[in-house]
Amino acid sequence: MVVDPIAPQALEQLRVRYDVTVRMQPSEAELVHLMPGMEAIVLRSGVELSANVINGARQLKVIARAGNGTDNIDLTAAKRAGIQVFNIPSVSSGSVAELALGLTYAVTRHIALADRQIRSNIWRKSELAGIELAGKTMGVVGLGNIGARLAALARGVGMKAVGSVGRPTQERKAEFARTGITLMSIGEVLRNADVVALTCPLNDRTRNLITAAELATMKPGAYLVNVSRGGVVNENDLYDALTRRHIAGAAIDVLANEREPSRLSELDNVVLTPHIGAMSVDSQTRIGAMLLDGLALSLTCQDAPTRIV
């Protein structure tokens, strides 16, 4: 069963090889009804696979996450049921990092607001004055594949790159030093960066990582960019910081409750996109190819190369 959009070529090949049911982003109740008899499910971030769904899928052998994050899958329930889970990490890192830089330009130069105004024949050029990125500091919270790529892109446009990482090994410290990234604590990143970009995974340590207390330590006039997960930021606290103009703006690709209205959409100093970090043709094509390979192995009782359960 395929429950989230994947590359058309990959879906075509799945249909050649398997008996495929496609139901885009079903509810939990629909999944409970649909899953009996299914041997594999392919999903991205738009569907939650709860323990209730997994426990009812008696014939399920494989959960294939067509992307990186697995916070929408109950891995404990999958392990208990003996279901193989694999994801496809890293191959979309460049796409997510490029979107993060694009969102940085969009919010610091008021591009989305300018577009809305010009479509209504509103010309307020002086109100749209933004900042140059060259010479400013990009602070990356989470220097994994995406974060390191974003830091490199930021340096490419003349920014200084600083960042934090959960468990910095000596090897990674040396790598960051070679590439011109200064390692700091999260607190130091927040205090020093003109743009704070969140690229960390969502887990117990990072849930509500950014609340009113952290936002208050950011430089007045700084910007927040989130391409990680919505749960990393307390959105009510972010709304308050934005309305008080303590921070100048935010660009958000991920919301805590996707497909539900967000108060952040009321604000002109916010740019929102619908979780499209990995949605480039290039990355989705690569993900599709790896998805096919992983399913071919896992459905024949072998381990997918990126098996996590």
- Whether 12 is catalytic is no
3-state helix, strand, coil in the chain (%, to 5): 40, 15, 45
Q: For residue 32, name the pLDDT band (cuts at 50, 70, 90).
A: very high
Contact predicate 4/45, CB 8 Å: yes
> Does 122 score more than 90 pLDDT?
yes
Catalytic hit among 214, 229, 235, 286: 229
8-91+280-298 matches 93-272 in fold: yes
Number of H helices, E strands in the chain: 12, 10
Res 78: pLDDT? 98
pLDDT digits (tens, 9 = 90+) for 127-153: 999 999 999 999 999 999 999 999 999
pLDDT digits (tens, 9 = 90+) for 37-48: 999 999 999 999
Res 28: pLDDT? 96
- Give me the residue spans of the domains in the chain: 8-91+280-298, 93-272
Superfamily name and number for 8-91+280-298: NAD(P)-binding Rossmann-like Domain (3.40.50.720)
Q: Compute the mean pLDDT over every residue in the chain, rounded to the nearest whole number.
A: 97
- Whether 175 is catalytic is no
- Whether 275 is catalytic is yes
Res 22: pLDDT? 98
pLDDT digits (tens, 9 = 90+) for 171-227: 888 999 999 999 999 999 999 999 999 999 999 999 999 999 999 999 999 999 999
Q: Is 20 exposed, middle or buried (0-12, 13-18, 19+ CB in 10 A)?
A: middle
Contact predicate 220/246, CB 8 Å: yes
Catalytic hit among 44, 65, 110, 275: 275
Res 167: pLDDT? 83
CA–CA separation, 164 vs 162, rounded Å?
A: 7
Res 281: pLDDT? 97
Res 166: pLDDT? 87
Catalytic hit among 39, 98, 188, 258: 258
Assigned fold of 93-272: Rossmann fold (3.40.50)
Q: For residue 31, name the pLDDT band (cuts at 50, 70, 90).
A: very high
